[in-house]
Amino acid sequence: MNIATVITTPFSDQKPGTSGLRKKVTVFRTPGYLENFVQAVFDTIDAPPGSTLVLGGDGRYHNREAIQVILRMAAAAGIAKVLVGRGGILSTPAASRVIRKYGCFGGLILSASHNPGGPEGDFGIKYNTGNGGPAPEKITDAIFARSRELTRYRIADAPDLDLDRPGRHGLGDMVVEIIDPVADYAELMESLFDFAAIRTLIGSGFRLCFDAMHAVTGPYAREIIEARLGAPAGTVINGVPLEDFGGGHPDPNLTYADQLVAIMYGGDDANPAPDFGAASDGDGDRNMILGRHFFVTPSDSLAIIAANAALAPGYADGIAGIARSMPTSAAADRVAEKLGVPCYETPTGWKFFGNLMDAGKVTLCGEESFGTGSSHVREKDGLWAVLFWLNILANSRLSVAEIVHRHWAGYGRNVYSRHDYEALPSDVAAGVMAQVRGRFADLPGQRFGDYRVKFCDDFSYTDPIDGSLSTGQGLRIGFEDGSRIVFRLSGTGTEGATLRIYLEAFEPDPARQRVDAQQALAPLIAIADQLSELKQRTGRERPTVIT
Ligand code: VG1
Ligand code: CO
């Protein structure tokens, strides 16, 4: 096999963000751009001879082309074997599962997650290590450094492989094995949850709807929810992965999963809405949980899963601990306290959970951004959360709303919302952050209506396992009653800057727990605006997305 060494000029902008490198498809199609980054990965990870890698993506536009390039580069890098999902498909949690199950050296996942796809949309690539999780910052920093100094990349001269033909193929000395993208994942789910109980629930007339948003979870949900759990055909909607996600925005929230929301909030007495609704994102790691006319906040979902974990066979022995990202509400902390297990607060992004899970310190992890998961893999896992809820519903025979209301009555409610201002000019977003930071010296002790500032800081985190320090992870303003406002810039966008404002208040009184979150948070929303001069600086009257 011929291996070509191609001279390339390094790119300066290949810094992985919260979850890998994400750019417009047009950028990834710049000659040498993908190759440069992939070479930087191979140079950094320095896989020993005999290594096996996993490769797959969410099926978005450019997925197949990128896989062909990466396979040729893997062969040139001396990789022994690559496991590729059939059709180039692997959801993020399934890729994590495959890396772990077969003891692979690592994997490359091609996705820009919830960002839109298509020729004008986004593409992304992420390296995961042998534990199945996103590479920690130490590695992504090294990849970035390497990407800026590369002057050549190596690629095998070979024809395209047929990604749709299962089985073993040769690419020079390297073996490419096309695997079933669903089987290993479905097997793991079946080992964790009480499928018989869920099957009985569904057989008893319980109705559900799963929206795959034309993204990667379609085949997974059809196999697990329809084939194995016996839900009627059609339970999974938008179940065929499309390269452009049908022109949609594959982000499971109340704004973008509008078809599911219409179903779950529709119906009438004669023909009520389903009992349970859920959606997942582009690469299958996020989830949204809905009941009939009811939305479960992701932070609450984590807390409720933790409180009821013992109902699922895979967690019957209890959980070691919980970790949540800093902006995620403290609802999980209350459950951890009651269970007598630790609760860790980490920066945003799943890569910060890996060390804690590897060390056996935590079992469950979650983020406010519709991400929940556990140590069964090292990624957040959308369908896993859906199955966990179904397991809880099958055991309790309560409605989704009843489960949440009972939880609030027992633990108090952490009223929560996130306001996103997308595609702001970068200097404007930086100005808002600087404005908030500039107030830090005089804020503590100040009173705003009923709220008195207790502390403010720029969140930093020292990993308790390897001691690594991550700074600049979000501006926190904490009030004396436990309420919080957090300002943070997104690390996954590809256009300008996205400012996220996270708002949290605590309501212990069951009589006042059922109010609308925006209403309950109105005073904090006003304080956030006042402190940051948000409206004035951005010229925006309202957020782009409220979750
Ligand atoms: C967002 C979320 C974060 C999540 C990340 C990746 O990051 O806030 O919680 O881990 O997306 O999720 P940011 O930096 O834009 O806030 V996914 O499903 O896009 O891989
Ligand atoms: Co995702």
Average pLDDT over residues 378-392: 98
Q: What is the pLDDT of residues 311-347, one digit of tens each?
A: 999 999 999 999 999 999 999 999 999 999 999 999 9
Asked if CATH classification 2.60.120.620 holds for the domain at 184-411, the reply, yes or no, is: no
- What pLDDT does residue 491 have? 82
Q: What is the pLDDT of residues 78-110, one digit of tens each?
A: 999 999 999 999 999 999 999 999 999 999 999
- What pLDDT does residue 253 have? 94
How many angstroms does the Cα of residue 136 sit away from the middle of ligand 1? Answer: 15
Average pLDDT over residues 118-134: 96
Q: What is the pLDDT of residues 252-279, one digit of tens each?
A: 999 999 999 999 999 999 999 999 999 9
Q: Which of 21, 370, 418, 492 to mutate to test the pocket of ligand 1 (most atoms within 8 A of CB)?
A: 492
CATH fold of 413-546 reads TATA-Binding Protein (3.30.310)
Q: What are the pocket residues of ligand 1 if the criterion is a CB atom closer than 6 Å to any ligand atom?
A: 18-19, 113-114, 281, 285-286, 325, 348-350, 367, 369, 371, 490-492, 500
> Which residue's CA is minimally distant from atom 11 of ligand 1?
492
Average pLDDT over residues 355-359: 96
> Which residue's CA is minimally distant from atom 2 of ligand 1?
369
Residues of the chain with pLDDT > 90: what percent?
95
The pLDDT of residue 1 is above 90: no
**Which is the catalytic residue, given 19, 96, 111, 113?**
113
Q: Is 113 a catalytic residue?
A: yes
The pLDDT-based confidence of 18 (bands split at 50, 70, 90) is: confident
CA-to-CA separations, 176 to 59, 68, 133, 252, in angstroms, rounded: 18, 11, 22, 33
- What pLDDT does residue 456 have? 96
Reported in sequence order, the residue ranges of 18-60 that DSSP labels E, i.e. its strands, are 21-24, 52-57
How many angstroms does the Cα of residue 386 sit away from the middle of ligand 2? Answer: 15
Question: Which residue in this structure is represented by tokens 């450019």?
Answer: 62
Contact 508, 415 (CB under 8 A): no
The pLDDT of residue 440 is above 80: yes
- Measured from the Cα of 498, ligand 1's closest atom is 15
The pLDDT-based confidence of 492 (bands split at 50, 70, 90) is: confident
> Which residue's CA is minimally distant from atom 16 of ligand 1?
490
How many angstroms does the Cα of residue 83 sit away from the middle of ligand 2? Answer: 21
| 3-state SS assignment for residue 284 | coil
How many angstroms does the Cα of residue 41 sit away from the middle of ligand 1? Answer: 21
Identify the DSSP state of 351: G
CA-to-CA separations, 56 to 95, 99, 385, 438, in angstroms, rounded: 7, 11, 22, 44
How many angstroms does the Cα of residue 340 sit away from the middle of ligand 2? Answer: 31
CA pair distance 55, 102, nearest whole angstrom: 13
The least confident of 301-310, 350-359, 492-501 is 492-501
How many angstroms does the Cα of residue 366 sit away from the middle of ligand 1? Answer: 11
> Which residue's CA is minimally distant from atom 3 of ligand 1?
349
Q: What is the pLDDT of residues 22-46, one digit of tens each?
A: 999 999 999 999 999 999 999 999 9
In which residue ranges of the chain is CATH 3.40.120.10 found?
Answer: 3-181, 184-411
Q: What is the pLDDT of residues 265-318, one digit of tens each?
A: 999 999 999 999 999 999 999 999 999 999 999 999 999 999 999 999 999 999
CB burial class (10 A; 0-12, 13-18, 19+) of residue 286? buried
- Measured from the Cα of 114, ligand 1's closest atom is 19
CA-to-CA separations, 398 to 269, 402, 404, in angstroms, rounded: 19, 6, 10
- Measured from the Cα of 113, ligand 1's closest atom is 19
Contacts of 172 (CB under 8 A, 6+ apart): 1, 75, 156, 158
And the tokens for 146?
């390497």
- Measured from the Cα of 491, ligand 1's closest atom is 14
And the tokens for 516?
């609308």
- Measured from the Cα of 92, ligand 1's closest atom is 20
Q: Which of 302, 369, 421 to mutate to test the pocket of ligand 1 (most atoms within 8 A of CB)?
A: 369
> Which residue's CA is minimally distant from atom 6 of ligand 1?
19
CA pair distance 181, 280, nearest whole angstrom: 17
Q: Tell me the ligand closest to 283's alpha carbon.
A: 2
In which residue ranges of the chain is CATH 3.30.310.50 found?
Answer: 413-546
Q: What is the pLDDT of residues 206-262, one digit of tens each?
A: 999 999 999 999 999 999 999 999 999 999 999 999 999 999 899 999 999 999 999
What's the mean per-residue pLDDT of the chain?
A: 96
How many angstroms does the Cα of residue 492 sit away from the middle of ligand 1? Answer: 6
The pLDDT of residue 518 is above 90: yes
Query: Which CATH code fits 3-181?
Result: 3.40.120.10
Q: Tell me the ligand closest to 284's alpha carbon.
A: 2
The pLDDT of residue 441 is above 80: yes
